Amino acid sequence: MLHGAGVLRIDHLPPLHGHLRVPSAALLPPLAFAALAVAALPALVTRLRFGAALLVAYGAALAWAVLLASSGEGLAWPFTHRQEYLAVLPAVGGDPLGWLASFTERLPAYPTHVRGHPPLPVLVLWVLARVGLPGPLPAALLAVATGCSATVAVALTVRRVAGEEAARRALPYLALTPAAVWIATTMDAFFAGVGAWGVALLVRGGTGGGLPGVLYGAAAGVLLGALPYLSYGLVPYLLVPVVAAVAVRVTRAAVVGCLVGAAAVTAAFAAGGFRWPAGVAATHVEWAADPGAARPYLYFLVANLAVLALLTGPATAAGLAVLTDRAAAVPAVPVGRTVARRVIAVGRTIAGRVVPVGRTVAGPVIPVSRVPNRLGAAAGPVRWPRGGVGALVAAAAVAVLALDVSGVTRGEVERIWVPYAVWISLAATAVPGRRWLAAQAAIGLLLQGLVLSPW
């Protein structure tokens, strides 16, 4: 109705930003791969050594994303648009520091995606070109390879937070995510990988003190500190590492290293002449003058979440239903508790009980069939240890809601939600089974076949 009334003039297939198209026979290769992966991947990641399972899942994620993109316009096609980051590289030339210092001042003259982001994405692609890899294809390969590596980074984080069994259960869903349609190819896939590895490094070194803890924390701080300079919409994402750090009780050394690493990123950009608050203000002026700002707030408040549901798939929706049922049993938390403890408490109740703070990571296996849930069917035995994946899912969901309510993400969120979708998709592990995994792959195939997206 809104589309017919001309309110959604720049959205031809709301809530998605794209056009409807007829599927072609080019979908057969990803369809065949999906069938093979659904049949074999869960068993492989269960039986192999954990390191080998990570490699297999990463290979599956790469193959899934590349095959989907190749069935359409190709892997590099989105980076050929004149509104993309590569179009501004001639302006950078051989003086990246001069370009950085004048970035805010010259922002109105740049392409759409550059005007809507901080300068770091352009600088990343400038470095790629300088090392001899210019053009759309190398940029696309970087984005896809880094984005798919989030499969490994998220699994490593889950292993620290909830145990190896939970991490193995998550791998097939991370590899065959419907979000692969936009992982190949957007720079937001690169952002997803950077953020996921920042969280993984923080929890990896955060349980040990001394120099190793400081070094891991510093590396995590550099990656996490870079997120606000990659996308202004990644500021709420920082709730995920906070919750993960609380869940594994990272050491003070790791926290100090992380803060120092993040501060170093901010200092480097400030020394180069870019002030983040000034960039936010300039980008908001550009956004307010863009047709996207005229989109109806209330419609996209809901429509943005519908897009997130497509990116994360039906298994995630079913898993969130289980999580919500378990969270309903959480007793009232005193006002003095921190937000992070509230989020973790939700994650601890997925098995239908509250786990005391002092309990260890390992926990008993509780058949979901014994715990009533709104799905009405047994999902199989699931181990939900202290904190569990529920804490990570809740953190990412809260971050998405904060962005959604802010009103600055009115449409075109397919790519914006990618960094958050990889964490929210962990909820799918609450409803294991090949049928749910097949449903995830089916949504990816339908999105690729039916939607002509600019990304």
pLDDT digits (tens, 9 = 90+) for 267-302: 999 999 999 999 999 999 998 887 777 788 898 899
Give burial (CB, 10 Å; 0-12/13-18/19+) of 13.
Answer: middle
Residues 6+ positions from 123 with CB-CB distance below 8 Å: 92, 96, 100
Q: Identify the band that residue 377 occupies on the pLDDT scale cut at 50, 70 and 90.
A: very low
- Give the rounded percent of residues in the chain with a pLDDT score beyond 90: 70
Q: How far apart are CA 135 and CA 57, in angstroms?
A: 28
- Helix, strand, coil distribution of the chain in percent, nearest 5: 70, 0, 30
Predicted pLDDT at 14:
77
Predicted pLDDT at 205:
84
Angle (nearest 5°) at CA 393 between 335 and 436: 145
Predicted pLDDT at 3:
58
Residues 37-47: what's their mean pLDDT?
97
**Of how many residues is the chain composed?**
455
Give burial (CB, 10 Å; 0-12/13-18/19+) of 47.
Answer: exposed
Predicted pLDDT at 277:
96
Of 305 and 381, the structure prediction assigns the larger pLDDT to 305
**Does 386 have pLDDT greater than 80?**
no
Residues 6+ positions from 300 with CB-CB distance below 8 Å: 15, 409, 410, 411
Contact 176, 64 (CB under 8 A): yes
Q: Identify the band that residue 410 occupies on the pLDDT scale cut at 50, 70 and 90.
A: confident
- The pLDDT tens digits of the residues spanning 432-450 come to 889 999 999 999 999 999 9
Q: How far apart are CA 250 and CA 271, in angstroms?
A: 31
Q: How far apart are CA 144 and CA 66, in angstroms?
A: 8
Give burial (CB, 10 Å; 0-12/13-18/19+) of 208.
Answer: middle
Q: Identify the band that residue 312 occupies on the pLDDT scale cut at 50, 70 and 90.
A: very high
Q: Do strands 381-382 and 451-452 pair parallel, antiparallel, or not at all (unpaired)?
A: unpaired
Q: How far apart are CA 139 and CA 133, in angstroms?
A: 8
Lowest mean pLDDT, pick from 19-23, 161-165, 332-336? 332-336
**Does 414 have pLDDT greater than 70?**
yes
Q: Which residues, listed in sequence order, are joined to residue 452 by a DSSP beta bridge?
A: 19
**Does 340 have pLDDT greater than 70?**
no
Q: Where are the beta strands (DSSP E) in 255-341?
A: none
Q: How far apart are CA 253 and CA 55, in angstroms?
A: 30
- The chain-wide mean pLDDT, for the chain, equals 86
Q: Give which of 239, 227, 218 is closest to 276, Cα–Cα.
A: 227
Predicted pLDDT at 367:
39
Predicted pLDDT at 329:
57
Lowest mean pLDDT, pick from 106-110, 150-154, 206-210? 206-210
Predicted pLDDT at 4:
60
Contact 238, 252 (CB under 8 A): no
Q: Identify the band that residue 384 occupies on the pLDDT scale cut at 50, 70 and 90.
A: very low
**Does 421 have pLDDT greater than 60?**
yes
**Does 180 have pLDDT greater than 50?**
yes
C-alpha pair distances (Å), 347 with each of 66, 195, 301? 33, 21, 25
Predicted pLDDT at 159:
97
Q: Identify the band that residue 385 occupies on the pLDDT scale cut at 50, 70 and 90.
A: very low
Q: How far apart are CA 187 and CA 145, in angstroms?
A: 11
